[in-house]
Each structure stands twice: as C-alpha cells, then as structure tokens.
Amino acid sequence: MVPPASSPRSGSVTPRVVFPNKVLPYLLVAPQLAITLVFFYWPAGQAFYQSMLRQDPFGLRTKFVWFANFRKVLADPAYLNSIKVTVVFSLATAIVAMCVALLLAVMAEKVVRGKGLYRTLLIWPYAVAPAIAGMLWLFLFNPSIGSLAYMLRSFGIAWDPLLNGTHAMILLVSAAAWKQISYNFLFFVAGLQAVPKALIEAAAMDGAGETKRFWTIVFPLLAPTTFFLLVVNTVYALFDTFGIVHAVTGGGPGKTTETLVYKVYNDGFVNLILGDSAAQSVILMIIVISLTAIQFRYVERKVHYG
C-alpha cells in the first residue's frame, strides 16, 4: 500500500519529495485508509474466514474445515461450467460493446452538423440502471409479447431464450453490451479527438485510403484508450452485470447463463450454502486481483502511448 520512495522501474533521477512533518501525511491518508479497511479488508477477511467454515444458515452449528469448501467448489462441474459461461459472456460483451462503440465514434466524427446532439443521444443509455436495461431487453425479446421476438419469428427464427441456451446468452450479451456502448463511445470520441489531424492529412496526401488510414494511424494511436476500455469492460462484464443476469435469465435455461457472480449469489442467498458461496467469492477476488495485475504489469507495457 505504501508507495516506494523511488521508482525502481524507471531508474530516472526524479527529485524526492520530502515531508518535514512525520504525522501529517498519515493523518491525510487516514480517511482513505479507514474506508478501505471498513469496506474492503474487513468484509474480505470475513469472506475468507467464512470460506473455511461449514455452517447451517442460522449459524447454530459451525465446523472449521480448512480448505474443504475450496476443494468442493473447484471439483464441482457446475462451477467449472460457470467459469466457461463467464469467459464466453465477458469476452462477447467486451468485444461487442467496444466494436460497436468504436464504429459509432468513428461515424459520429464524420458528422458535420448536430455532432453534439448525436453524441448526447448515444451517451444516454449509460444512465440506465442494469436491472432496468435487463427488463427492457427482456420485454423486447419476450417470446410472447416482445416486438423484436415477433420480428425474429416472422423471419422464420424459432426464438426461445427460455429453453435455448444460445438464445439466452445472445439476449444477455446484447443487454450487457448495449448498456456499456455509451461509456465506450465517450472514451473513443475523446481518443479520436486526440489523434493529430496532421498525421491523417499527411497520410491522405501520400494516397492512403480511408480504411488504410484508420488501421495504420488512428487505431494504433487509440491503443491506450482501447486498453483502458478493455480493462473496464472486462471488469464490468465480470461483476456489474449481476442485475442483468438476475432480471433476464436468472442463470437459466439449465445452467447455461450462470456466471460466477450469479452463482455466488445463488448458492449463498437462495440455496443458503454459505461456505461454498464464500469460497467462490474468495476465488473471484483472487481472479480479479490477478487479472488486474496482469493487465497493468504486462499488457500495459505493450501499449504504445502516442
């Protein structure tokens, strides 16, 4: 938590900042530390402790079992299935949300009149709460009353997200990605504006076509934005989509859309198996910490900051 005195990575000669007062710095970070302690370390510690217990819902009988819950969870085919579901869902959501947003951002750049209006309209969906976004899509694609489901049927597609796992996943990814497109759009628009016009104009004079210009100049220069969004979107798809899953599919049909976060909820709060649920959330915590660490330590270095 305490930052190193000098960065060992850069090795450059940065002047060290020295605080004459020994107490004041600690006082100044104290509120932040207190918040982190209360809202992260305390519950995380509780989860870790709970993950080693086997307990009835009311906590009347408690048995300390060391890592038995972890062994059980990791050997459970339903858990492994849930990992697979999460990977598919997160990747699909991140890719769809980012591709569509990039396309929209590039298109919006080309608009001459009413640019502001377009942008505002495209940013709107971000203000919608996940559960509401879920309900919205659920209604649109409801096999009996949904207008989009009706259209699909008239095209001869037997749309049935209630029983067809692939359809359910498509519905879930659409809802989750739709909600994230606005956010990505905002960042891509900002990123596009930072691309020097001179470079593009020079390339144009050298005879590079529009597509060529985009892939060789604009896209590489957008890399920092893309990388940042990749992190944000993955974390979003992993954790912030509980409301959507809960509203749209509830993990079904079968277990085809039961993501890791949804399984933690379902095992803990519906099935009341607290030990398993706690073990799963500890595993989830480890996954996030390592994912973030990998992304920032490794992937970030490969990003070319223009």
Partner 1 sequence: MKSFGFAAGVAATFMLLSSTSAFAVTQISWWHAMTGANAEVVDKISKDFNASQSDYELVPVFKGTYPETLNAGIAAYRAGQAPDIIQVFDVGTGVMMAAEGAIKPAADVLTSAGMTFDKSQYLPGIVGYYSKPDGTMLSFPYNSSSPILYYNKDIFKKAGLDVDSPPKTWNEVWEDAKKIKASGAAACGYTSTWLTWIHLENFAAWNDVSWATQQNGLAGGDVELKINAPIFVNHFQALADLAKDGTFKYGGRTSEAKQIFLAGECGIMTESSGGLGDIVKSGMNYGIGQLPYDSDAKGAPQNTTPGGASLWVFADKSDEEYKGVAAFFAYLSKTDVQEYLHQKSGYLPVTLAAYEATKKSGFYDKNIGRETPILQMTGKAPTDNSKGVRLPNLPQVRDIQNEEFEKMLAGQQTAQQALDNAVTRGNAAIKEALGN
Ranges within 165-184 binding partner 1 (CB under 8 A) = 165
| CA gap 277, 165 in Å, rounded | 24
Choose between 17 and 60: whose C-beta lies nearer to partner 1.
Answer: 60
Count Cβ atoms below 10 Å from residue 72 Cβ, excluding itself.
16
Nearest to 44 by CA among 269, 281, 293: 281
Nearest to 97 by CA among 180, 171, 168: 180
156 binds partner 1 (CB under 8 A): no
Choose between 125 and 250: whose C-beta lies nearer to partner 1.
Answer: 250
Q: Which residues pair with 64 in a beta bridge?
A: 53
Handedness of CA 190, 87, 174, 252 (dihedral sign): negative
272 binds partner 1 (CB under 8 A): yes
Choose between 53 and 97: whose C-beta lies nearer to partner 1.
Answer: 53
Q: Please answer whether residues 268 and 242 qualify as being in contact, where contact means their C-beta atoms are separated by less than 8 angstroms.
A: no
CA 239 to chain centre: 6
| CA gap 131, 109 in Å, rounded | 31
Among 270, 289, 293, 294, binds partner 1 (CB under 8 A): 270
* DSSP 8-state code for residue 2: P
* DSSP 8-state code for residue 38: I
The residue range among 122-130, 181-189, 197-205, 246-254 that interacts with partner 1, by the rule CB under 8 A, is 246-254
In 51-111, which ranges are continuous DSSP H helix?
A: 68-75, 77-110
145 binds partner 1 (CB under 8 A): yes
| CA gap 179, 191 in Å, rounded | 20
Choose between 57 and 196: whose C-beta lies nearer to partner 1.
Answer: 57
The residue range among 21-29, 158-166, 226-234, 295-303 that interacts with partner 1, by the rule CB under 8 A, is 158-166
Among 57, 114, 196, 306, binds partner 1 (CB under 8 A): 57
Among 10, 12, 144, 211, binds partner 1 (CB under 8 A): 144
Nearest to 63 by CA among 50, 75, 47: 50
Choose between 165 and 224: whose C-beta lies nearer to partner 1.
Answer: 165
Q: Please answer whether residues 52 and 287 qualify as being in contact, where contact means their C-beta atoms are separated by less than 8 angstroms.
A: no
Closest approach of partner 1 to the CB of residue 163, in Å: 4
The residue range among 93-101, 227-235, 249-257, 284-292 that interacts with partner 1, by the rule CB under 8 A, is 249-257
Question: Interface mask (CB under 8 A) for partner 1, residues 202-231, using x and -?
Answer: ------------------------------
Closest approach of partner 1 to the CB of residue 193, in Å: 45
Closest approach of partner 1 to the CB of residue 136, in Å: 17
The residue range among 201-209, 217-225, 248-256, 281-289 that interacts with partner 1, by the rule CB under 8 A, is 248-256
Choose between 161 and 191: whose C-beta lies nearer to partner 1.
Answer: 161
Q: Quote the crossing angle between the two packed helices 147-154 and 130-140, to the nearest 10°.
A: 40
The residue range among 57-65, 119-127, 197-205, 292-300 that interacts with partner 1, by the rule CB under 8 A, is 57-65
| CA gap 100, 102 in Å, rounded | 5
Provide the binding-site residues for partner 1, judged by CB under 8 A: 54-61, 63, 144-145, 162-165, 250, 252-255, 266, 269-273
